[in-house]
Amino acid sequence: RQEFSIQSVNVSITLCILGFIDTEMLRGKRVIVTGASSGIGEQMAYHLARMEAHLLLTARTEAKLQKVAKRCLELGAASARYVSGSMEDTAFPEVVVKEAENTWGGLDVLILNHIGYTYFNYFNGDVEHIRKLLEINFLSYVAMTVSALPMLKESEGSIVVVSSVAGKTAAPFSAPYSATKFALDGFFSSLRHEFIIDKVNVSITLCILGYINTENAVRAVSHAIQDTPAPKEECALEIIKSGVLRRRELHYPSRAVGSLLLLRDIAPDFLDSLIRSSYKVENIRRT
Minimum CB separation from ligand NDP for residue 22, in Å? 25
Whole-angstrom distance, CA of residue 118 vs CA of residue 136: 11
Q: Would you call the peptide bond into 253 cis, given omega within 30 degrees of 0 as the criterion?
A: yes
Active-site residue identified among 141, 177, 211, 252: 177
Q: Classify residue 129 by burial, with Cβ atoms within 10 Å: 0-12, 13-18, 19+.
A: middle
Among 80, 209, 245, 271, binds ligand NDP (CB under 6 A): 209
Among 45, 152, 202, 217, binds ligand NDP (CB under 6 A): 217
**Position 211 contacts ligand NDP (CB under 6 A):** yes
Order of strands, sheet of 79-84, starting from the edge strand that comes earlier in the sequence: 79-84, 54-59, 30-34, 109-112, 158-164, 203-209, 249-252
Question: Looking at residue 282, what DSSP letter applies?
Answer: G
Minimum CB separation from ligand NDP for residue 201, in Å? 25
Minimum CB separation from ligand NDP for residue 39, in Å? 2
Question: What binding mask, one character per residue, do residues 248-277 give for ligand NDP by CB under 6 A, x or -?
Answer: ------------------------------
129 within 8 A of 118, measured Cβ to Cβ: yes
**Position 139 contacts ligand NDP (CB under 6 A):** no
- How wide is the angle at C-alpha 246 spanned by C-alphas 186 and 215, nearest 5°? 70
| Maximal C-alpha separation, the chain | 68
40 within 8 A of 67, measured Cβ to Cβ: no
- Point out which span in 85-93, 148-156, 195-203, 271-279 binds ligand NDP (CB under 6 A): 85-93
Active site residue 177: yes
Catalytic residue ranges: 177
Chain contacts with ligand NDP (rule: CB under 6 A): 35-41, 59-61, 64, 86-88, 113-116, 136, 162, 164, 209, 211-212, 214, 216-217
